[in-house]
Amino acid sequence: NAGVTQTPKFQVLKTGQSMTLQCAQDMNHEYMSWYRQDPGMGLRLIHYSVGAGITDQGEVPNGYNVSRSTTEDFPLRLLSAAPSQTSVYFCASSYSKAGLGETQYFGPGTRLLVL
């Protein structure tokens, strides 16, 4: 099993550009989520999905879109990049939703720099 994979590893964008961060898992997990990691703030939830076709907003959803057409994939779209979106982005997955004490499996992260 590859676990949770993310691409790209590193990306530089100019303000106003759009891009998609890819996330895939091969563990047949129903629950997937996106977090951003910023210094001194831990990780904050952006969006999550409890299954194919179902998504919902997390703590910091503004400026990001998601969709979940398959169980395996959960891409994160930045619509118009802003310097405030400079961060490290982590995708995570689990068998069921985080609130049930499930272990979350994290990808290696995507480091994004917006100029």
Partner 1 sequence: GDSVTQMEGPVTLSEEAFLTINCTYTATGYPSLFWYVQYPGEGLQLLLKATKADDKGSNKGFEATYRKETTSFHLEKGSVQVSDSAVYFCALSTPSGSRLTFGEGTQLTVNP
Window 43-72: contact mask with partner 1 (x via CB under 8 A) = xxx--x-x-----x-xx-------------
Among 13, 21, 33, 81, binds partner 1 (CB under 8 A): 33
Phi/psi of residue 95, nearest 5 degrees:
-65, -40
Nearer to partner 1, 58 or 75 (CB): 58
Cis upstream peptide for 8 (omega within 30°): yes
Q: In angstroms, rounded to a whole number, what is the distance separating the alpha carbons of residues 94 and 10?
A: 24
Q: Is 90 in the site for partner 1 (CB under 8 A)?
A: yes
Stretch that binds partner 1, among 19-27, 64-72, 75-83, 101-109 (CB under 8 A): 101-109
Helix (H) or strand (E) holding 9: none
**How far apart (Å, rounded) are the C-alpha atoms in residues 14 and 65?**
18
**Counting contacts by CB under 8 A, is residue 113 touching partner 1?**
no
CB atoms near residue 33 (< 10 Å): 27
Answer for which of 12, 41, 54, 115 binds partner 1 (CB under 8 A) is 41
Specify the residue, 17 or 22, whose C-beta has the smaller distance to partner 1: 22
> Which amino acid is present at 48?
Y
Q: Which DSSP helix (H) or strand (E) runs through 66?
A: strand 64-66
| Interface residue list for partner 1 (CB under 8 A) | 4, 33, 40-45, 48, 50, 56, 58-59, 90, 92, 97-109
